[in-house]
Amino acid sequence: MTRIREAFSGGRKAFIPFITCGDPDTGTTKAVVHEAVKNGADIVELGIPFSDPTAEGAVIQSANYRALKGGITTDKVFAMVRELREDISIPLVFMTYANVVFSYGSDKFISSCHDIGIDGLIIPDLPYEEKDEFLPYCRKNDVALISMVAPTSEARIEMIAREAEGFLYVVSSLGVTGTRSEITTDLGAIIRAVRRSSDIPCAIGFGISTPEQARNMAGIADGVIVGSAIVKIIAQYGREAPKHVGEFLRSMKGAICSSTASGGSRQSSPA
């Protein structure tokens, strides 16, 4: 968990790329993770595929199907992360659905996360009301159970933020994952609401695909999560994707670094 905090330390704007594991194979995923680290990723979010990813748009759904068709399993993802950890030290977090964790055995899954060097867990179908499903195992194994807030959260924001761990995943807009031409939610207001009860770092995700969007989001929040735009490049180039993803990530990282902290940032407001 401390590794996640360090990724946001000193006012750094964390860049958090998302990659679906095993799309199209684990070799490509590993190469993409290495490209991500080389091009300035501060945290990498690794998606463990699920057959029915209800919070995903078409792009990440397809990546899940491709990876499962390619034979990816939870055990193969764990083995891949073990290999990645031989030379990668930035925080790695898993994004997957509740059933993938639960059916493996929650305790066994989360203690394996600890053993292979996973720092956090993002579960989009686990709201605040159900987090006791996994929280005791996460506490025991020092794995951050990362909470989400959405544009519809309203009065729930402070309750969620107060108990949030690692970083808070701020969902930029209604709907599922996928690129959006514009993001109209008043994200500044959401982050101000978070700040009223917590100093948890806030990273914005869903729909961020261009350097300009990344720059804007980094101006509002402490971190930027980019998923579908990367997965799209992998869908297009397959095993040749790593170098193309690398170029894209470099442009996004540059944009995030060029942003200036605005009034909503964690460092400029009282905790």
Partner 1 sequence: MTNKAGRFGVHGGQYIPETLMNAVNELERAYNHWKDDAGFNAELTALLNDYAGRPSRLYYARRMTEDLGGAKIYLKREDLNHTGAHKINNVLGQALLARRMGKTRLIAETGAGQHGVATATAAALMGMSCVVFMGVEDTIRQALNVYRMRLLGAEVVPVKTGTGTLKDAVSEAFREWTSRIDDTHYCLGSVMGPHPFPVIVRDFQAVISREIRAQVMEREGRLPDCVIACVGGGSNAIGSFYHFLNDETVRLIGCEAAGRGIDTFETAATISTGRLGIFHGMKSYFCQDEFGQIAPVYSISAGLDYPGIGPEHAHLHDTGRAEYVPVTDEEAVRAFEYLSRTEGIIPAIESAHALSHAMKIAPGMGRDKVIVVTVSGRGDKDCAAIARYRGENIHD
Q: Which residues form the interface with partner 1 (CB under 8 A)?
A: 50-52, 54-55, 57-58, 61, 65, 68, 73-75, 97-104, 124-133, 147-154, 156, 160, 163, 171, 174-176
Residue 164 CB, shortest distance to partner 1, in Å, is: 12
d(CA 164, CA 81): 25
Nearer to partner 1, 6 or 163 (CB): 163
DSSP state of 26: H
Residue 101 CB, shortest distance to partner 1, in Å, is: 8
11 to 51, 54, 155, 201, 202: CA distances (angstroms): 38, 34, 27, 10, 12
Residue 240 CB, shortest distance to partner 1, in Å, is: 26
Question: How many whole angstroms from its chain centre is CA 60?
Answer: 13
Closest alpha carbon to 205 in 229, 225, 180, 175: 225
Residue 128 CB, shortest distance to partner 1, in Å, is: 7
Structure tokens at 153: 């959260």
Contact 85, 111 (CB under 8 A): no
d(CA 206, CA 173): 7
Nearer to partner 1, 73 or 262 (CB): 73
Sort residue 175 into left (φ over 0), alpha (ψ -120 to 50) or beta. Answer: left
Contact 63, 234 (CB under 8 A): yes
Residue 25 CB, shortest distance to partner 1, in Å, is: 17
Nearer to partner 1, 8 or 109 (CB): 109
Residue 53 CB, shortest distance to partner 1, in Å, is: 8
Nearer to partner 1, 8 or 97 (CB): 97
Nearer to partner 1, 102 or 237 (CB): 102
Nearer to partner 1, 155 or 260 (CB): 155
